[in-house]
Every structure is written in C-alpha cells, then in structure tokens.
Amino acid sequence: MEKYIVRTSGLKKYYQMGKNVVKALDGVDFKVKDGEFVAIIGKSGSGKSTLLHMIGGLDLPTSGEVYVDGRNLAGLNKEQLAIFRRRTVGFIFQSYNLVQDLNVYENIVLPIELDGGHVDTEFVDGILELLQLQEKKEVLPNTLSGGQQQRVAIARAIAAKPAMILADEPTGNLDTATSHDVLGLLKTVARQFEQTIVLITHDQDIAQLADRIVRIEDGQIVCSHIGDGEMEDSCMEGGQTSDSHTTDDHMTEGSGSHAEK
C-alpha cells in the first residue's frame, strides 16, 4: 500500500471579512506520497500559501482534516504543533530569514541546537558539499549573493532531517538561471535524503522539475498532473492576477483558530 505523508480531506479555510466570506480553501482533498516532489501552481490569491500553511501546522483549518506523517494536526496542542513544525517540516520562504550575526554553518545548525538536538556534522558537511557551500561555511550571510543565501536557507531546512520540505516561492527573489540551479540542487538533496517536497511556484519551468503539478483555483484543486516533461495545457493555463472569490454568505462553520507561528 502506498504511504502518504500528507493527506487532507474536505479542507476549508474561510476568512470572515466584514460582510463577506473569503474562501481561501474550499474543500481540498490533497495527498502527497512519501518522497514525492509536488509543485503547487495557481493565480495570485488562489489559496496556495494557505494550503502550505495548513499542512505545515502554521495555521488551523476552518473545517476538514490534515494528516501529516500519520498525525492528525487538529489533535495536537500548541506545544506539540511547535515540535511538529521543528522536527517534521523544513520551511523555505522567499525571504531567506538568516541570522546576520551568525556565520553560514551556525545558521544551518541553529534550529537543531534550539531544539536541543544533536548536530550530525557529517550529514551537515554532506549537505554543504551538495549545495556547494563548503567554501562559505565560516562567512557571514551579508557577504553572500541571493542565490547563495537561499542555498543556506535550504541547507538549514534540510539539516534537521525533516520528513518534508515546504517551500513558498523560494526563488521569487532570484534570477531565472540562479532559480533553476538552486531548485535543481534542492531536488537532488531532497532525493538523496528521501525527503518530500511541496513547493509553490509561479515559474512553469520550475514546476516541471516536480514529479507532479497541482493547480489551485479559487481554493480548490482543479488539476493534478504527473510530471513527465509534457505539461497538459489545462494544468498550466491561467493568468497571474485574480483574487479568490468572496460570498455574501456568513460563515456557517466556526473560524479556525490560529496556531502560534
């Protein structure tokens, strides 16, 4: 039987905005296989980040379920959720969020140390080598290029050996060539360490690196395509700017409480 690291069912996230309800997610059934690389695409405001936040335990749904690595996230208290985020998930965002006073190596191992964990130096050295950061181990982040800083952020996400990497437009600040290099390295490293990747991107070429592409529209999954280099038009079409739909209906379901970030 296939093992799914992520499983959501009937996932909804509604925001009450005055008289309107914004349906950021509106009934999402989403599964990710262990070790799979999934790219999420869709117009601005379609619900991509909201979905990533739900499966990363950064926010709670209005209704529906999220199971990650066999755990129902709704069953975890605040502290357990924080531990889940530190140990099971590696986050990579568009902004690198590096600590400027710490050198590259210290930045990479910081989350492990804060979690009271043991740093597997051999493993970290292996990541540094794969990400071509060996030479930069002892320098401060502000001496690095954008692409190098994002590689440090990737190394930091991977070093704690999370089962899953969640990346939200990780190369949004990088030029096309650098984006492809960085994402290619992320894919190689994650493969080597059997980590699952769920990545949001606006870049169709980057999406093609994934095993599967999922397109979201108005809070719903409208297309899921197994990547084989030949993208179906239906999975790629759509512009870049539209807002998710709102309704005049008042929310009938309880609003999700927000987990501590």
Ligand X SMILES: Nc1ncnc2c1ncn2[C@@H]1O[C@H](COP(=O)(O)OP(=O)(O)OP(=O)(O)O)[C@@H](O)[C@H]1O
Alpha helices in the chain (DSSP H): 48-55, 78-88, 104-114, 121-130, 146-159, 176-192, 204-207, 233-236
In angstroms, the CA 133 to CA 11 distance is 39
Report in angstroms how near the CB of residue 152 gets to ligand X at its nearest: 23
What residues between 9 and 28 interact with ligand X by CB under 6 A?
A: 15, 17, 22, 24
Among 46, 88, 107, 196, binds ligand X (CB under 6 A): 46
Q: What angle do CA 218, 223, 226 make, to 5 degrees?
A: 145
Segment near ligand X (CB under 6 A); pick from 42-50, 93-101, 132-140, 207-215: 42-50
Q: Which is nearer to ligand X, 58 or 182 (CB)?
A: 58
For residues 186 to 225, the per-residue mask of contacts with ligand X, x marking binding by CB under 6 A and - elsewhere, is ----------------------------------------
Q: Which position has the token pair 């609003």? A: 255
Helix axes 146-159, 121-130, angle to 10 degrees: 150
**42 makes contact with ligand X (CB under 6 A):** yes
Span from 41-49, 60-68, 103-111, 206-214 in contact with ligand X (CB under 6 A): 41-49
Its sign, for the CA torsion 101, 105, 108, 111, is negative
Binding site for ligand X (CB under 6 A): 15, 17, 22, 24, 42, 44-50, 243-244
